[in-house]
Chains A and B, each alone.
Chain A
Amino acid sequence: QVQLQESGPGLVKPSETLSLTCAVSGVSISSNNWWSWFRQSPDQGLEWIGDIFHSGGTNYNPSLKSRVTISVDRSKSHFSLNLTSVTAADTAVYYCAKSVDAMDWYFDLWGRGTVVIVSS
Protein backbone atom coordinates (compact mmCIF):
# COMPACT_ATOMS: atom_id res chain seq x y z
CA GLN A 1 0.00 0.00 0.00
CA VAL A 2 1.40 3.35 -1.06
CA GLN A 3 1.45 5.74 1.85
CA LEU A 4 3.24 8.51 3.65
CA GLN A 5 3.28 8.80 7.43
CA GLU A 6 4.41 11.83 9.40
CA SER A 7 5.88 11.47 12.87
CA GLY A 8 7.41 13.75 15.46
CA PRO A 9 6.67 15.72 18.63
CA GLY A 10 3.25 17.29 18.85
CA LEU A 11 4.45 20.00 21.19
CA VAL A 12 7.51 22.22 20.69
CA LYS A 13 8.68 25.07 22.89
CA PRO A 14 9.16 28.55 21.43
CA SER A 15 12.66 29.20 20.05
CA GLU A 16 13.34 25.46 19.75
CA THR A 17 13.54 23.31 16.60
CA LEU A 18 10.58 21.46 15.12
CA SER A 19 11.65 18.11 13.68
CA LEU A 20 9.36 15.83 11.68
CA THR A 21 9.94 12.71 9.63
CA CYS A 22 7.88 11.31 6.77
CA ALA A 23 8.08 7.55 6.24
CA VAL A 24 7.56 6.48 2.63
CA SER A 25 6.13 3.04 1.88
CA GLY A 26 4.80 1.32 -1.22
CA VAL A 27 6.82 3.55 -3.54
CA SER A 28 10.56 4.02 -3.91
CA ILE A 29 11.93 7.18 -2.35
CA SER A 30 14.32 7.20 -5.32
CA SER A 31 11.45 7.49 -7.80
CA ASN A 32 11.27 10.44 -10.18
CA ASN A 33 9.31 12.93 -8.06
CA TRP A 34 9.75 15.51 -5.33
CA TRP A 35 9.08 14.88 -1.65
CA SER A 36 7.44 17.86 -0.07
CA TRP A 37 6.35 19.42 3.20
CA PHE A 38 3.28 21.58 3.69
CA ARG A 39 1.53 23.07 6.65
CA GLN A 40 -1.98 24.31 7.26
CA SER A 41 -3.31 26.68 9.86
CA PRO A 42 -6.51 28.74 10.12
CA ASP A 43 -4.49 31.96 9.79
CA GLN A 44 -2.10 31.01 6.98
CA GLY A 45 -4.15 28.44 5.08
CA LEU A 46 -2.25 25.84 3.09
CA GLU A 47 1.43 26.72 2.77
CA TRP A 48 4.18 24.93 0.85
CA ILE A 49 7.35 24.70 2.99
CA GLY A 50 9.78 23.04 0.61
CA ASP A 51 10.78 19.83 -1.08
CA ILE A 52 13.64 17.48 -1.80
CA PHE A 53 14.63 15.13 -4.61
CA HIS A 54 16.14 11.74 -3.82
CA SER A 55 19.51 13.05 -5.02
CA GLY A 56 19.36 15.71 -2.32
CA GLY A 57 18.39 18.74 -4.36
CA THR A 58 16.05 21.05 -2.46
CA ASN A 59 13.65 23.94 -2.96
CA TYR A 60 12.43 26.09 -0.08
CA ASN A 61 9.73 28.69 0.35
CA PRO A 62 11.60 32.02 0.61
CA SER A 63 9.39 33.02 3.54
CA LEU A 64 10.83 30.14 5.59
CA LYS A 65 14.15 29.46 3.87
CA SER A 66 16.33 30.88 6.63
CA ARG A 67 14.85 28.44 9.16
CA VAL A 68 14.13 25.29 7.11
CA THR A 69 16.19 22.24 6.27
CA ILE A 70 14.77 19.23 4.45
CA SER A 71 16.84 16.07 4.20
CA VAL A 72 16.38 12.57 2.80
CA ASP A 73 17.59 9.19 4.03
CA ARG A 74 17.23 6.72 1.15
CA SER A 75 18.38 3.79 3.30
CA LYS A 76 15.48 4.33 5.69
CA SER A 77 13.04 5.46 3.00
CA HIS A 78 12.16 8.64 4.78
CA PHE A 79 12.65 12.36 4.51
CA SER A 80 12.71 14.95 7.26
CA LEU A 81 11.88 18.55 8.08
CA ASN A 82 13.72 20.76 10.54
CA LEU A 83 12.31 24.20 11.32
CA THR A 84 14.37 26.28 13.73
CA SER A 85 13.48 29.12 16.10
CA VAL A 86 9.79 28.32 16.14
CA THR A 87 7.11 30.68 17.40
CA ALA A 88 3.38 30.37 17.97
CA ALA A 89 2.92 31.26 14.29
CA ASP A 90 4.42 27.87 13.39
CA THR A 91 1.56 26.05 15.10
CA ALA A 92 -0.16 24.09 12.33
CA VAL A 93 -0.99 20.71 10.86
CA TYR A 94 2.08 19.54 8.98
CA TYR A 95 1.75 17.30 5.93
CA CYS A 96 4.25 15.47 3.80
CA ALA A 97 3.38 14.80 0.17
CA LYS A 98 4.68 13.45 -3.14
CA SER A 99 4.71 15.32 -6.43
CA VAL A 100 3.31 13.67 -9.53
CA ASP A 101 6.74 13.63 -11.15
CA ALA A 102 9.96 15.59 -11.33
CA MET A 103 8.58 18.28 -13.62
CA ASP A 104 5.02 18.70 -12.37
CA TRP A 105 4.51 20.08 -8.90
CA TYR A 106 1.06 18.68 -8.36
CA PHE A 107 0.76 16.51 -5.26
CA ASP A 108 -0.98 13.18 -5.64
CA LEU A 109 -0.09 11.45 -2.38
CA TRP A 110 -0.33 13.00 1.08
CA GLY A 111 0.28 11.83 4.61
CA ARG A 112 -2.52 12.07 7.14
CA GLY A 113 -0.91 15.11 8.75
CA THR A 114 0.43 15.72 12.23
CA VAL A 115 -0.53 18.54 14.57
CA VAL A 116 2.34 20.59 15.95
CA ILE A 117 1.67 23.12 18.70
CA VAL A 118 4.29 25.65 19.69
CA SER A 119 3.86 26.53 23.32
CA SER A 120 5.84 26.74 26.53
Chain B
Amino acid sequence: DIQMTQSPPSVTASVGDRVNITCRASQGISWWLAWYQQKPGKAPKLLIYAASSLQSGVPSRFSGSGSGADFTLTISNLQPDDVATYYCQQANIFPWTFGPGTKVEIK
Protein backbone atom coordinates (compact mmCIF):
# COMPACT_ATOMS: atom_id res chain seq x y z
CA ASP B 1 0.00 0.00 0.00
CA ILE B 2 1.07 3.61 -0.56
CA GLN B 3 1.76 5.26 2.79
CA MET B 4 0.77 8.90 3.21
CA THR B 5 2.40 11.14 5.80
CA GLN B 6 1.47 14.68 6.78
CA SER B 7 3.22 17.48 8.58
CA PRO B 8 2.80 19.12 10.92
CA PRO B 9 0.40 17.00 13.00
CA SER B 10 -1.15 20.21 14.26
CA VAL B 11 -0.82 23.94 13.68
CA THR B 12 -2.11 26.94 15.58
CA ALA B 13 -2.28 30.22 13.71
CA SER B 14 -4.00 33.59 13.84
CA VAL B 15 -6.94 34.75 11.77
CA GLY B 16 -5.59 36.10 8.50
CA ASP B 17 -2.43 33.97 8.57
CA ARG B 18 -1.23 31.71 5.79
CA VAL B 19 -1.08 28.02 6.72
CA ASN B 20 0.79 25.34 4.78
CA ILE B 21 0.20 21.62 5.27
CA THR B 22 2.49 19.09 3.63
CA CYS B 23 1.62 15.59 2.44
CA ARG B 24 4.16 13.04 1.26
CA ALA B 25 3.48 9.75 -0.50
CA SER B 26 5.74 6.72 -0.07
CA GLN B 27 6.04 6.55 -3.88
CA GLY B 28 5.22 8.83 -6.75
CA ILE B 29 1.51 9.30 -7.40
CA SER B 30 1.70 11.90 -10.18
CA TRP B 31 -1.05 14.40 -9.39
CA TRP B 32 -3.55 11.84 -8.06
CA LEU B 33 -4.10 13.53 -4.73
CA ALA B 34 -7.05 15.02 -2.89
CA TRP B 35 -7.41 17.15 0.22
CA TYR B 36 -10.35 16.92 2.60
CA GLN B 37 -11.52 19.03 5.50
CA GLN B 38 -13.21 17.33 8.43
CA LYS B 39 -14.91 19.15 11.29
CA PRO B 40 -15.69 17.35 14.57
CA GLY B 41 -18.63 14.98 14.23
CA LYS B 42 -18.90 15.55 10.48
CA ALA B 43 -17.92 13.67 7.36
CA PRO B 44 -14.88 14.67 5.32
CA LYS B 45 -15.47 17.35 2.71
CA LEU B 46 -13.59 17.41 -0.59
CA LEU B 47 -11.57 20.62 -0.99
CA ILE B 48 -8.98 19.91 -3.68
CA TYR B 49 -8.66 17.11 -6.23
CA ALA B 50 -6.02 16.27 -8.81
CA ALA B 51 -3.52 18.00 -6.50
CA SER B 52 -4.53 21.55 -7.42
CA SER B 53 -8.12 21.69 -8.69
CA LEU B 54 -10.53 23.50 -6.39
CA GLN B 55 -13.78 21.65 -5.77
CA SER B 56 -16.89 23.62 -6.65
CA GLY B 57 -18.12 25.80 -3.81
CA VAL B 58 -14.84 25.75 -1.86
CA PRO B 59 -13.46 29.21 -0.98
CA SER B 60 -10.55 30.36 -3.10
CA ARG B 61 -8.34 30.83 -0.01
CA PHE B 62 -7.75 27.07 -0.27
CA SER B 63 -5.18 25.98 -2.84
CA GLY B 64 -3.15 22.88 -3.56
CA SER B 65 0.16 22.28 -5.25
CA GLY B 66 2.69 19.56 -5.94
CA SER B 67 3.13 16.42 -7.97
CA GLY B 68 5.01 13.16 -7.72
CA ALA B 69 5.37 12.47 -4.01
CA ASP B 70 5.22 15.89 -2.35
CA PHE B 71 2.14 18.05 -2.03
CA THR B 72 1.03 21.13 -0.15
CA LEU B 73 -2.33 22.47 0.94
CA THR B 74 -2.29 26.22 1.55
CA ILE B 75 -4.92 28.13 3.44
CA SER B 76 -4.36 31.82 2.85
CA ASN B 77 -6.15 34.33 5.08
CA LEU B 78 -7.11 31.74 7.74
CA GLN B 79 -10.68 32.11 8.97
CA PRO B 80 -12.37 30.81 12.16
CA ASP B 81 -14.50 28.50 10.01
CA ASP B 82 -11.32 26.76 8.86
CA VAL B 83 -10.78 25.11 12.26
CA ALA B 84 -10.79 21.43 11.32
CA THR B 85 -8.59 18.45 10.58
CA TYR B 86 -7.23 18.18 7.04
CA TYR B 87 -6.46 14.91 5.30
CA CYS B 88 -4.74 14.04 2.07
CA GLN B 89 -5.76 10.99 0.03
CA GLN B 90 -3.95 9.30 -2.85
CA ALA B 91 -6.06 8.13 -5.78
CA ASN B 92 -3.31 6.63 -7.90
CA ILE B 93 -3.10 2.98 -6.83
CA PHE B 94 -5.56 0.71 -4.98
CA PRO B 95 -6.14 0.67 -2.08
CA TRP B 96 -6.82 4.37 -1.69
CA THR B 97 -5.05 5.61 1.42
CA PHE B 98 -5.21 8.70 3.60
CA GLY B 99 -2.72 10.68 5.61
CA PRO B 100 -3.06 10.81 9.42
CA GLY B 101 -4.42 14.33 9.37
CA THR B 102 -3.33 17.83 10.38
CA LYS B 103 -5.37 19.66 12.98
CA VAL B 104 -5.70 23.41 12.40
CA GLU B 105 -6.61 25.66 15.31
CA ILE B 106 -6.92 29.40 15.83
CA LYS B 107 -4.83 31.34 18.37
Considering the chains assembled together, what is the distance between the CA atoms of A105 and B50 in angstroms?
A: 10
Interface residues of B in 4-31 (CB under 8 A from A): none
Query: Using a Cβ cutoff of 8 Å, how many contacts connect chains A and B?
Result: 51
Residues of chain B within 8 A (CB-CB) of A108 are 46, 49, 55
Q: How far is the CB of B45 from chain A (nearest CB, A)?
A: 7
Q: State whether A110 and B45 are in contact (beta carbons under 8 Å apart), knowing that A45-B100, A45-B101 are contacts in the complex.
A: yes
Q: Whole-angstrom distance between the alpha carbons of A108 and B46 in the complex?
A: 5
Contacts of A69-120 to chain B: CB distance below 8 A: 95, 97, 100, 104-108, 110-113
Whether the Cβ atoms of A105 and B91 lie closer than 8 Å is yes
Chain A residues whose C-beta falls within 8 Å of the C-beta of B49 in the assembled complex: 100, 104, 106, 108
A95 and B43 within 8 A (CB): yes
The CA of A17 and the CA of B18, in the complex, are separated in Å by: 47
> Which of these binds chain B: A8-16, A23-31, A58-66?
A58-66
Name B's interface SS: loop
Contact B96 A48 (CB under 8 A): yes
How far is B103's CA from A45's CA once the two chains are assembled, in angstroms?
A: 13
Q: Which residues of A contact B89 (CB under 8 A)?
A: 46, 106-107
Known contacts A100-B49, A106-B34, A107-B44; A62/B95 CB under 8 A:
yes
A63 to B46, CA, bound (A): 25
Measured between beta carbons, the chain B residues less than 8 angstroms from A113 are: 43
Q: How far is the CA of A71 from the CA of B45 in the complex (A)?
A: 25
| Chain B residues whose CB sits within 8 angstroms of the CB of A100 once the complex forms | 46, 49
Contact across chains for B44 and A48 when beta carbons are under 8 A apart: no
Query: Which residues of B pack against A, CB within 8 Å?
Result: 1, 34, 36, 42-46, 49-50, 55, 87, 89, 91, 94-98, 100-101
A interface, CB within 8 angstroms of B: 45-48, 59, 61-63, 95, 97, 100, 104-108, 110-113
Supply 9 A–B pairs (Cβ within 8 Å), ascending by A: A46-B89, A47-B98, A48-B97, A104-B91, A106-B50, A107-B34, A108-B46, A108-B49, A111-B43
Top-8 shortest CB links A-B: A110-B43, A46-B98, A106-B49, A61-B95, A105-B91, A48-B96, A106-B34, A108-B46
